[in-house]
Amino acid sequence: MGFQGKVALVTGGANGLGRATAARLIGQGASVVLADIEAETGEAAANDLGADFIQTDVTVPEASHAAVDFTLEKHGKLDLAFLNAGIVTGSGLIEHFDLDGYRRAMGVNLDGVVFGLNAVVPAMRENGSGSIIATSSLAGLAPTPYDPVYCANKHAVQAICRSMGPLLFEEGITLNALCPGFAETRIVDGIKEGLDEAGIPLIKVEKVVDGVMELFEADFAGEAFMVQAGMEPQIFKFRRVPGPRAEEG
Supply the DSSP string of 92-115, one letter for each residue: -SBTB--HHHHHHHHIIIIIHHHH
Helices 112-127, 61-75: inter-axial angle, 10-degree rounding: 30
pLDDT value at residue 177: 98
**Which residues are catalytic, by number?**
150
In whole angstroms, give the CA distance from residue 176 to residue 179. Answer: 10
The domains located in the chain, with CATH, are 7-235 (3.40.50.720)
pLDDT at 120 over 90: yes
Mean pLDDT of 52-67: 98
b or e along 46-83 (b: 16 or more beta carbons within 10 Å of the residue's beta carbon)?
beebebbbbbbbbbeeebbbbbbebbbeebeebbbbbb
β-bridge pairing 224-227 and 234-235: antiparallel
Question: What's the mean pLDDT in 31-50?
Answer: 98
Q: Residue 47: which H helix or E strand, with range?
A: helix 39-49
Residue 182 confidence (pLDDT) above 90: no
pLDDT of res. 246:
44
Residue 115 has pLDDT above 70, yes or no: yes
The one-letter amino acid code at 148 reads P
pLDDT at 194 exceeding the cut of 80: no
Q: Assess whether pLDDT exceeds 90 at residue 247.
A: no
Secondary-structure breakdown of the chain: helix, strand, coil percentages, each rounded to the nearest 5: 45, 15, 35
pLDDT grade for 21, boundaries at 50, 70 and 90: very high
- Taking a C-beta distance cutoff of 8 angstroms, is the pair 87, 18 a contact? no
Average pLDDT over residues 36-61: 98
Q: With bands split at pLDDT 50, 70 and 90, how would you rate the model's confidence at 89?
A: confident
DSSP-derived 3-state class of residue 141? coil
pLDDT digits (tens, 9 = 90+) for 121-155: 999 999 999 999 999 998 899 888 878 999 999 99
Give the residue with greater pLDDT, 195 vs 138: 138
- Quote the distance between the C-alpha of residue 206 and its chain's center: 15
From 62-71, 125-134, 190-199, the region with the lowest mean pLDDT: 190-199
| HSE-up (13 A, CA, CB side) for residue 230 | 4
Collect all residues with Cβ–Cβ distance below 8 Å to 88 and sequence separation of at least 6. Answer: 105, 147, 150, 187, 190, 191
The pLDDT assigned to 186 comes to 59
**How many angstroms separate the CA atoms of 221 and 219, rounded?**
7
Task: Give the pLDDT mean for 177-181.
Answer: 91
Which pLDDT belongs to residue 212?
96
- For the segment 230-243, what is each residue's pLDDT rounded down to a tens digit? 778 889 988 776 65
Instruction: Give the pLDDT mean for 50-63.
Output: 98
